[in-house]
Copies of this chain bind each other. A is one copy, B any other.
Amino acid sequence: MNNYIDQLSIDCVVFGYQSKTLKVLITKIINIDNCYALPGGFILQNEDIDIAARRILNERTSLDHIYLDQFKAFGKNNRRDQRFIQQVMENQIWNTNQSGIKIDLNWLDKRFVSLGYYALVDIENVVLRKSEIDESVDWVDLDKVPQLIFDHNEIISEALVELREKFDKKLIGFNLLPSIFTMRDLQELYEVVYDTPFARNNFQKKILDLNVLERLEKKYTGAANKAPYLYRFIK
């Protein structure tokens, strides 16, 4: 593990949106019962931290150009999880490097400072992959996240606060939608993020006045009502 920076990690809160629900990506740690965590990893000695975060995300999502924001470093002294560490050691996870050579696991038994990133992805574009320490990687509804190791639940909470703060201001919501969508799709996303309903007409006016949407053809769904326009986010 010598090519990584010691005692420093990255944890990513990957937000996805599907069926009017916000979801986050959760990994199940291999060889340990009921042990869930945020997708995370470490920083190579010669790697920018942002690049490291992209690498870690790419390993799980297969995506290259992800909207990513580093929002806070988590570094409480009690940020440890004795049960987790013990199980890792007992089950010999991480105990060999890429060449299969046994390595010292003592580096794990220290407090880590973790850099928290949140990412926004179009869930349809994601091809889930497991890294070597994942038993599985899955989308979980934001309100059904199980107990995670360390302070990962807190990291999610803080990521959500940050997301809400930046969401409208920086117009990052489009990263959660397919490239083409209806105004209703967008409004429902806003309503889910802010957990509050918006007036349809006022919402439409506000969004269109931003001049960031290109109106495309109508979307005929077969429903017995007026067909909505499709839009594409520009710039």
Contact = CB atoms under 8 A, between A and B. Distances in A.
Contact of A7 (B8, B70, B76, B110): B8
Copies per assembly: 2
A40 B115 CA distance: 19
Contact of A111 (B46, B50, B51, B111): B46
Contacts of A146: none
A110 B73 contact: no
Contacts of A25: none
Contacts of A70: 72-73
A37 B149 CA distance: 37
Contacts of A49: 73, 75-76, 113
Closest 6 CB pairs of A and B: A49-B75, A73-B73, A48-B77, A48-B76, A5-B7, A73-B115
Given A5-B8, A5-B111, A73-B73, 16 more contacts: A5-B6, A5-B7, A6-B7, A7-B8, A8-B8, A8-B113, A43-B113, A45-B110, A46-B77, A48-B75, A48-B76, A48-B77, A49-B73, A49-B75, A70-B72, A70-B73
